[in-house]
Amino acid sequence: MNRTTAQRILAEFKQKKVIVIGDVMIDEYIWGDVHRISPEAPVPVIEMQGTTVRLGGAANVAHNIAALGATPILIGIIGDDDGARMLIDCVTENQMSAAYLISDASRPTTRKTRVIAHQQQVVRIDRESTNPISETVRQDVLAQFEAQIQDADAVLIQDYNKGLLTPDLIASIIQKARDAGCFISVDPKFENFFAYKGVNLFKPNLREAETMLGMKIRENQDVNQMGRRLLEQLECDMVLLTQGPNGMTLFEGENFITYIPTVAREVFDVSGAGDTVIATTTLGLTTHATPVEAAVLATHAAGIVIGKVGIAPIQWEELQQTFSEDDNGD
């Protein structure tokens, strides 16, 4: 795909509106240097230099969509705590609306704190609840979703198994999105893996698919078999199987399989790469792009974000620059 084609697809993003519903979180980074080992235990002493707060989970997906020029409608659950205020501030600072986030004082805002020294992660601290949401909260979430669905081009479900996406809520979201004629994409995790039957795009990573299907991939033939099984069991239109440094494979039908290699770049941090892939592919599939073109665009986007330290969104301008003027390949 050349730059002209990429620019044509990217230009269409600006007219698109995507509901992103799923587990929102804060990614907090504490940066510092290590010059000695603690006398209290065999651990490094971090001399803190600063902190950074970024959007994570479904909020990072929405951030990617906004950075690519489209309009995200972010629906999720936050607590009534410092993490919630941090998340709302971060959402609004990045020109998105926090109006559709629902506060549930019974649970903390999901917050992951990473301590980084000399470009290496030393430790991660998680503050979260994975208990299923209450029926009252489920109804509030569904009401927000119903109020926005008629204006949306797509529904992107980002499941991190943090308790928001219960089987009942998933079924309601899919049915209402279908009724509205919306494209539906899913980035799953283990717990609800097979609850997403009938969606348009299902994007698991290799580890998730291996675990849920009870398969171990040893060669390309196994990957193809895995994709076919996912298509059959989930009754979906497409499966995009991400395979880390080995690229990803797009399955559009039993015999229509496309392997898409990674775009070679120096890797600093793979955090958030999956968020970028699902955001970019979903947007691409709301345009006149073919599924392969949308996936190639997503591969280029992921290649950019893994070259950044910490979770960071892809930018419209930097994505188009990764395509050469005359490149007709992937």
Looking at the annotation, which residues are catalytic?
275
Query: Could you give the CA distance from residue 64 to residue 311 in angstroms, rounded to a whole number?
Result: 10
CB 272 within 8 A of CB 56: yes
- Segment (H or E) for 145: helix 135-148
Beta partners for residue 18, in sequence order: 72, 154
Using CB atoms within 10 A of its CB, is residue 316 exposed (0-12), middle (13-18) or buried (19+)? Answer: middle
CB 74 within 8 A of CB 58: yes
A 10 A CB-CB count for 44 gives: 17
Q: What is the DSSP letter of 133?
A: P
Using CB atoms within 10 A of its CB, is residue 254 exposed (0-12), middle (13-18) or buried (19+)? Answer: exposed
